[in-house]
Amino acid sequence: MLTQSHRYRDIERAAVYLQPEKCVPPPVRDSMDKVWFIKDGCGIACAVVTWLLVFYAEFVVIFIMLLPSKDVIYSIVNGIVFNILAFMALASHFRAMITDPGAVPKGNATKEFIESLQLKPGQVVYKCPKCCSIKPDRAHHCSVCKRCIRKMDHHCPWVNNCVGENNQKFFVLFTMYIALISLHALIMVALHFLYCFEEDWTKCSSFSPPTTVILLILLCFEGLLFLIFTAVMFGTQVHSICTDETGIERLKKENPTWEKTSSWAGLKQAFGGDFSPGWFSPFSHSLYHQLPSDMEYAMAPDSNEYVTGRIVGHVEVIEVEHENE
């Protein structure tokens, strides 16, 4: 009854074989648990570097190129546009970093909880032995977050978080706004170089000519690097949403066991409903936030509306082996 994809999984016929003594029930959430933040040194360092690079671009654009410019309208318009894009990029980054990407409650794969689900013949649930959680379909375990993440695409150190169903919108917006400010900065650097070549270098910046050149070249390299990187990431993320296939699923070449949504339906689900300005705002949620979380139905097992499982012919509990996820 099992497909080839289950060859590395142990099939267990009843909850008594789940070794519940190894699973600690999920703790009661307090006010501190409401803020999602991954305590990973590498991720925190990458996130700080990201903000510092944006502030460096802000410094060069404002103090090297715009303030010394004699064209007041040019400086005001470009200053407003650049600062709006930079603010939206940092806000998107912050939301992607502190938003729960879709973590499955840790330690809920206890005998009592499995039995309370009242699984009927033909239903199956998966247990992750790494975090002792009931593993929903399309969830994967992240070794950095130490949790199973629903529709996990990948773990991104630059946002110090996994990219999952709850924060994919913020990650897409972050890559889009970084690509836009990088392109905007490159255009302004090119125009400023042309202006300085035509005028006296001592008059086109409040800094010395060597310092001005070095700062502009560094900004040029930064903008070009991040433009290429974030544009590629933006394209891959939109492609994943439109094809309803995460990066991990595509990498592992998993056969889809779920009913795929259309490209437009996937975009509406990820960005929060019908097309509107809210799609481009990091302050609005995706439609995934309108569904009850795993913690909610884990604490209310009498409701079988959101039971994790699928039909395979017999009641089976499948424990996922330690995979490199």
Q: Which residues are the active-site residues? A: 156
Q: How far apart are CA 55 and CA 34, in angstroms?
A: 29
Query: Which H or E run includes 188?
Result: helix 168-198
* Residue 105 and residue 26 in contact, taking contact as beta carbons nearer than 8 Å: yes
CA torsion sign for 46, 52, 56, 57 is: positive
Cα 294 from chain centroid?
19
277 φ/ψ angles, rounded to the nearest 5 degrees:
-60, -25
Q: Where are the beta strands (DSSP E) in 151-273?
A: 154-156, 161-163
Question: Is 214:208 a contact under the CB 8 Å cutoff?
Answer: no
CB atoms within 10 A of CB 37: 12
Neighbouring residues of 86: CB distance < 8 A, sequence distance ≥ 6 = 54, 57, 58, 177, 181
Task: Yes or no: say if 78 and 18 are a contact pair by the CB < 8 Å rule.
Answer: no
* Closest C-alpha among 293, 291, 301, 320 to residue 25: 301
Q: What is d(CA 159, CA 91) in angstroms, rounded to the nearest whole number?
A: 12
- Alpha-carbon distances, residue 258 vs 151, 207, 314 (angstroms): 12, 59, 19
CA-wise closest residue to 263 among 238, 243, 234: 243
Q: What whole-number distance in Å separates Cα of residue 246 and Cα of residue 171? A: 14
Name the β-bridge partners of 139.
150
